[in-house]
Amino acid sequence: MIDQSDIASIVEEYDRLKLRIGMTASHSALDICDGAIEEGFPTVAYCKEGRHKTYANYFKTQRSASGRVVRGMVDKAIVLNDFNDVLAPDMQEEMRKRNVIYIPNRSFTSYSAIGDIENSFRVPMFGSRNMLRMEERTEDQDYYWILEKAGLPYPEKIDNPEDIDCLVIVKLHHAQKKLERGFFTCASFKEYQEKSAALLAEGVIDQASLDGARIERYVIGPVFNLNFFYSPLAEEGERLELLGVDWRFESSLDGHVRLPAPQQMTMPIHQQIPEMTVVGHNTATIRESLLEKAFELGEKFIKASKEHYDPGIIGPFCLQTCIDKDMNYYIYDVAPRLGGGTNVHVSVGHPYGNATWRKPMSSGRRIAMELRMAVEQDRLLEVLT
């Protein structure tokens, strides 16, 4: 892990009045860029060739003669052969010359090796560099590990498929779409065998991933992704904020549920098992009687993060939850960085964040606001790693 003293020496060379916010141009990059522009920071999006026009053309900023942004949110789009090229030494040197503060998102940690991010990416990052590894389900200390340490609720794990006695979800990677899911559900060992055989035959999953899959009891209930923010700088009011909530559109699952049951039963075998590829998000709120429980989840996660990942979580994090019929939360995934659904609140802000700050407050803007506070208070090293 890059030592904090190394980051301090890099930040010491930065012109703090000319900081730029950079990010991997995918996932939640537009939210990051929009929030940065709102708070007066120039933006740099690091794009992959063939996926760059969204940032380089359609959301490119236009500024007035005075420098005010009148359109868009991406000041500069740097087009790379591959997302992983941000790790190249010359690219890192260029970032440092530009006073770039990098905001990690899931695309950054998916396209670049986590070990390289931890040990070789010598660019100051906003957030908790040492917590990003927990997203890898193959790690011994994955997010289930910290959930257990924190005493937080999560779906019960089933170690042996032969013990399946209720509806479960089998979590593994998609064999062909490496960054997507090959999840499937089943309610018995027989169904597990039938579905896994069908998915193996179709090439959706592979045997190695199936052998290492996590099987857990399926929580029947709506999904709520809780987009939190923890401020190390706050001196008045609470340091934990619930900015907003989102939920997912998944293909082909959402297409299946729009069909009448008789029609689903007549589908050919290769269409009967839905995939769960996230293709979009929508906003949501939670009934007020459940909000306090949500904050309790966030507080417990923060406490555990400080105990096991010094200095603990910094800035945005997302607890992805299901709520059952008895109004109990279960956390089925954790993002120790900006969540994937925050683009739904670009420009308009999150409902709870807006209410807290009395102005439009998206996750991206909240990050930029914290960064600005850190500059003004000379406390950058409390939010950068």
- pLDDT, one tens digit per residue, over 106-144 is 999 999 999 999 999 999 999 999 999 999 877 889 999
| CA dist list (Å): 279 to 75, 94, 318, 332, 340 | 26, 33, 18, 19, 11
The pLDDT value recorded for residue 290 is 99
Residue 10: the pLDDT is 98
Which pairs with CB-CB distance under 8 Å and at least 24 residues apart come from 87-90? 87/112, 87/116, 87/117, 87/120, 87/121
Domain 4-133+373-382 in this protein, CATH class: alpha beta
Mean pLDDT of 242-256: 95
Task: State the pLDDT at residue 7.
Answer: 98
Query: Considering the chain, what is the average pLDDT of its residues?
Result: 96
Query: pLDDT class for 8, splitting at 50, 70, 90?
Result: very high
pLDDT at 202: 92
Mean pLDDT of 271-297: 95
In the chain, residues under CATH classification 3.40.50.20 are 4-133+373-382
Average pLDDT over residues 51-58: 99
Q: How far apart are CA 204 and CA 198, in angstroms?
A: 9
Domain(s) labelled CATH 3.30.470.20 in the chain stretch across 143-153+221-359
Single-letter amino acid code for the residue at 26: S
Alpha helices per DSSP H over 49-137: 53, 89-97, 106-111, 114-119
What pLDDT does 134 receive? 95
Question: What integer pLDDT is reported at residue 210 of this predicted model?
Answer: 96
What DSSP designation does 57 have? I
pTM: 0.96
pLDDT 10s digits, 145-202: 999 999 999 999 999 999 999 999 999 999 998 778 889 999 999 999 999 999 999 9
From residue 68, alpha-carbon distances to 39, 63, 72, 75, 249 in Å are 12, 5, 11, 12, 35
What is the distance in angstroms between the CA of the first residue and the CA of the last residue of the chain? 10
More confident residue, 14 or 139: 14
The band of 270, judged by pLDDT with boundaries at 50, 70 and 90, is: confident
- What percent of the chain clears pLDDT 70, i.e. is strictly above it? 100
Residue bearing tokens 């930040």: 11
For residue 179, what pLDDT is reported?
77
In this prediction, residue 284 has a pLDDT band, given cuts at 50, 70 and 90, of: very high
For 76-196, strand residue ranges (E) read: 76-80, 100-102, 157-158, 168-171, 184-186
143-153+221-359, superfamily in CATH? Answer: ATP-grasp fold, B domain (3.30.470.20)
Fold classified for 157-217? Dna Ligase; domain 1 (3.30.1490)
User: pLDDT-based confidence at 221, cuts 50/70/90?
Assistant: very high
The pLDDT of residue 351: 96
